[in-house]
């Protein structure tokens, strides 16, 4: 059974699941960001029970998990912003068609004097007459360092969004694997609780028979009844936790609302890692998409700063228009205008300096975030190595403790049935079995999650998932 749960290897931050190992308490599910716990339901619920394997769950989550959908939409928004900034570098072409009927006062434009004609024989009021104009205008920047660097910054932001979407896919594999394993762990605890309940029922019935035969005192029957009630309560609580774990998984992977499903405990086995710590850390820096996204955000901040510097430099633009103008379309004649414009910023009231201060602060923040993430990756990979080593030992010890506890319970039951001892020994042996089973389950899942934490830290989660599927889809 050790190899059965290796699948989650792929998927999780193992430390939180491993914290309660060896304590006899149920392991706690780490809490991911809220969007990754939600999903968009897809399809129609069937009347029967479907079996969802862990690969099926991950494949559905990659399509319907809210965290992935939000990250993918962010790419579209980043591309939209990039196109807006690119428009400042591309030609701006406009066309217009107009026909105007007008009457004008030449005197209002400075011709002639009040009360007198503007020109000999020409009245002050001219018109009405028509003006027809059909024209295309073009404006093209030639040198604009601010717009150029703005476009570069947004290109880096698009790349950052793309890497962030890749990171979201890796993370949702992590989350889905964790939820699936958490549900499997809850199911294992439920099965253990059911076995303990059945054992307690058998011991209670046995105590009643021995009491009727006068072999034991009534206190032994009462003690067996109390133990049965305790195990029944434990079984009920375990069933409730299992059902809630299934609901949380169904929400994250976007199952149809109300769809009943079963889990598959047979998980694919992944090969053992033979990577050294140094090599794993080096690969993580190259493969982790969240780190690459952080580096792209640094480059975007650098380009944004250069764009602000460029706003204080001269820019060159060419404007042109061409069209037909006349009293009517039939007698319109072609005209055009071409102009070159050099814009030189002279004084902007400290606006550029203020924006530079903001850009410098943003750049320092982005660099600090990238450095922090680099350190976090280092510690995450080292932690995964430590957890893998520790859980290997815990699994070995937990397996032996479970076997010994089972032997202890068997011997205690035999001694009680023979009248050699009271059922105090049996109750204590039952508690030892329950504790040993919990420690074994925690160690088993903790071992596999530690391997998953290592793969997650290295950044090869989705690649491994596709390998399990037999190739990229």
Which tokens in the block code for residue 441?
Answer: 């389950």
Say what percent of the chain tops pLDDT 70. 87
The pTM for the full model equals 0.77
* pLDDT for position 158: 96
Q: Is the pLDDT confidence value at 304 over 50?
A: yes
Say how many residues make up the chain: 473
Sign of CA dihedral 431, 433, 436, 442: negative
Q: Flag the least confident range among 74-83, 106-115, 311-320, 424-433.
A: 106-115
Residue 457 confidence class, pLDDT cut points 50, 70, 90: confident
Query: Among residues 302, 183, 315, 158, which one has the least CA distance to residue 241?
Result: 183
Q: Is the pLDDT confidence value at 2 over 70?
A: no
Residues sharing a CB contact under 8 Å with residue 80, sequence separation 6 or more, in sequence order:
none
Q: How many Cα atoms sit within 13 Å of 409 on the Cβ side?
A: 21
Q: What is the mean pLDDT of the chain?
A: 83
Question: Which one is predicted more confidently, 137 or 429?
Answer: 137
Q: How far apart are CA 201 and CA 219, in angstroms?
A: 16
Question: Which one is predicted more confidently, 23 or 35?
Answer: 35
Predicted confidence (pLDDT) per residue in 439-456, tens digit = 777 777 677 777 777 878
* pLDDT for position 138: 93
Which tokens in the block code for residue 74?
Answer: 């962010």
Query: Among residues 4, 7, 46, 44, which one has the least CA distance to residue 261?
Result: 46
Q: How far apart are CA 199 and CA 191, in angstroms?
A: 12
107, 114 Cβ separation under 8 angstroms: yes
265, 186 Cβ separation under 8 angstroms: no
Q: How far apart are CA 292 and CA 473, in angstroms?
A: 24
* pLDDT for position 161: 95
Q: How far apart are CA 53 and CA 71, in angstroms?
A: 25
* pLDDT for position 211: 81
Q: Is the pLDDT confidence value at 466 over 90?
A: no
Residue 181 confidence class, pLDDT cut points 50, 70, 90: confident
Residues sharing a CB contact under 8 Å with residue 439, sequence separation 6 or more, in sequence order:
21, 22, 23, 24, 394, 398, 401, 402
* pLDDT for position 174: 82
* pLDDT for position 462: 76
Q: Is the pLDDT confidence value at 20 over 70?
A: no
Region 112-139: what's the mean pLDDT? 78
Q: Flag the least confident range among 155-164, 177-186, 269-278, 300-309.
A: 269-278
Q: How far apart are CA 44 and CA 46, in angstroms?
A: 6
Give φ, ψ of 402 to 5 degrees: -65, -45
Residues sharing a CB contact under 8 Å with residue 380, sequence separation 6 or more, in sequence order:
13, 284, 453, 456, 457
Region 3-8: what's the mean pLDDT? 38
Which tokens in the block code for residue 347?
Answer: 């004084």
Q: Is the pLDDT confidence value at 11 over 80?
A: no
Q: Which long-range contacts (CB under 8 A, 24 or more apart) does 322-325 make?
A: 322/135, 322/136, 323/133, 323/134, 323/135, 323/136, 324/132, 324/133, 324/134, 324/135, 325/131, 325/132, 325/133, 325/134, 325/135
* pLDDT for position 8: 40
Sign of CA dihedral 45, 51, 54, 55: negative
* pLDDT for position 261: 94
Predicted confidence (pLDDT) per residue in 40-74, tens digit = 999 898 888 999 998 899 999 999 999 999 999 99
Predicted confidence (pLDDT) per residue in 222-258, tens digit = 888 888 899 899 899 999 999 999 999 999 999 999 9
Residues sharing a CB contact under 8 Å with residue 338, sequence separation 6 or more, in sequence order:
318, 319, 320
Predicted confidence (pLDDT) per residue in 280-289, tens digit = 899 899 989 9
Predicted confidence (pLDDT) per residue in 364-401, tens digit = 999 999 999 999 999 999 988 888 888 888 888 888 88
* Structural domains of the chain ordered from first start: 6-85+147-307+350-469 (1.20.1600.10), 94-143+316-343 (no CATH)
Q: Is the pLDDT confidence value at 463 over 80?
A: no
* pLDDT for position 387: 86
Question: Which one is predicted more confidently, 425 or 103?
Answer: 103
Predicted confidence (pLDDT) per residue in 345-366, tens digit = 888 778 888 999 999 999 999 9
Residue 116 confidence class, pLDDT cut points 50, 70, 90: low
Q: How far apart are CA 123 and CA 105, in angstroms?
A: 9
Query: Among residues 173, 152, 153, 165, which one has the least CA distance to residue 76?
Result: 165
Residue 4 confidence class, pLDDT cut points 50, 70, 90: very low
Q: At what angle do helices 218-253 and 54-64 cross, to 10 degrees?
A: 40
3-state secondary structure at position 334: strand
Q: How many Cα atoms sit within 13 Å of 278 on the Cβ side?
A: 0
Q: Is the pLDDT confidence value at 296 over 90?
A: yes
Say what percent of the chain tops pLDDT 90. 38
Look at the block and give the residue holding tokens 């815990």.
394
438, 408 Cβ separation under 8 angstroms: no
């Amino acid at each position: 059974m050790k190899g059965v749960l290796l699948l989650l290897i792929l998927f999780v931050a193992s430390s939180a699941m491993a914290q309660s190992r060896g304590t006899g308490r149920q392991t706690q599910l780490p809490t991911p960001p809220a969007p990754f716990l939600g999903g968009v339901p897809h399809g129609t619920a069937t009347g029967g029970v479907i079996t969802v394997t862990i690969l099926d769950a991950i494949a559905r989550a990659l399509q319907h998990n809210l965290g992935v959908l939000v990250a993918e939409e962010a790419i579209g928004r980043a591309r939209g912003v990039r196109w807006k900034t690119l428009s400042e570098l591309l030609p701006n072409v406009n066309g217009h068609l107009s026909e105007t009927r007008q009457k004008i006062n030449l005197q209002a434009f400075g011709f002639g004097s009040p009360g007198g004609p503007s020109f000999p024989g020409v009245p002050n009021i001219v018109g009405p007459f028509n003006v027809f104009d059909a024209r295309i205008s073009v404006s093209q920047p030639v040198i604009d360092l601010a717009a150029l660097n703005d476009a570069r910054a947004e290109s880096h932001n698009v790349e950052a969004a793309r890497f962030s979407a890749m990171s979201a896919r890796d993370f949702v594999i992590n989350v889905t694997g964790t939820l699936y394993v958490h549900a499997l762990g809850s199911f294992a605890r439920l099965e253990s609780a059911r076995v303990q309940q059945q054992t307690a029922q058998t011991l209670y019935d046995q105590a009643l028979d021995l009491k009727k035969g006068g072999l034991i005192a009534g206190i032994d029957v009462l003690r067996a009844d109390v133990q049965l009630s305790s195990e029944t309560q434990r079984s009920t609580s375990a069933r409730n936790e299992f059902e809630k774990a299934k609901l949380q998984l169904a929400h994250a992977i976007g199952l149809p609302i109300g769809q009943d499903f079963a889990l598959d405990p047979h998980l694919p086995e992944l090969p053992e890692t033979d990577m050294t710590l140094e090599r794993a850390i080096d690969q993580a820096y190259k493969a982790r998409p969240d780190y690459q996204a952080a580096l792209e955000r640094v480059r975007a901040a650098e380009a944004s700063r250069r764009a602000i510097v460029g706003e204080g430099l001269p820019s060159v633009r060419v404007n042109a228009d061409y069209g037909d103008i006349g009293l009517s379309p039939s007698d319109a004649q072609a005209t055009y205008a071409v102009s070159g414009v050099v814009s030189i910023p002279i004084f902007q009231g400290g606006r550029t300096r203020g924006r530079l201060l903001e850009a410098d602060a943003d750049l320092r923040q982005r660099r600090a975030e990238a450095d922090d993430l680099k350190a976090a990756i280092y510690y995450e990979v080292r932690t995964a190595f430590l957890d893998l080593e520790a859980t290997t030992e815990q699994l070995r010890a937990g397996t032996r403790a479970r076997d010994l506890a089972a032997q202890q319970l068997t011997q205690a039951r035999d001694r009680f049935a023979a009248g050699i001892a009271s059922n105090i020994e049996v109750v204590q042996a039952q508690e030892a079995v329950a504790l040993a089973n919990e420690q074994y389950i925690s160690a088993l899942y903790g071992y596999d999650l530690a391997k998953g934490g290592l793969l997650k830290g290295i950044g090869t989660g989705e690649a491994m998932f596709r390998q399990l599927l037999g190739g990229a889809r």
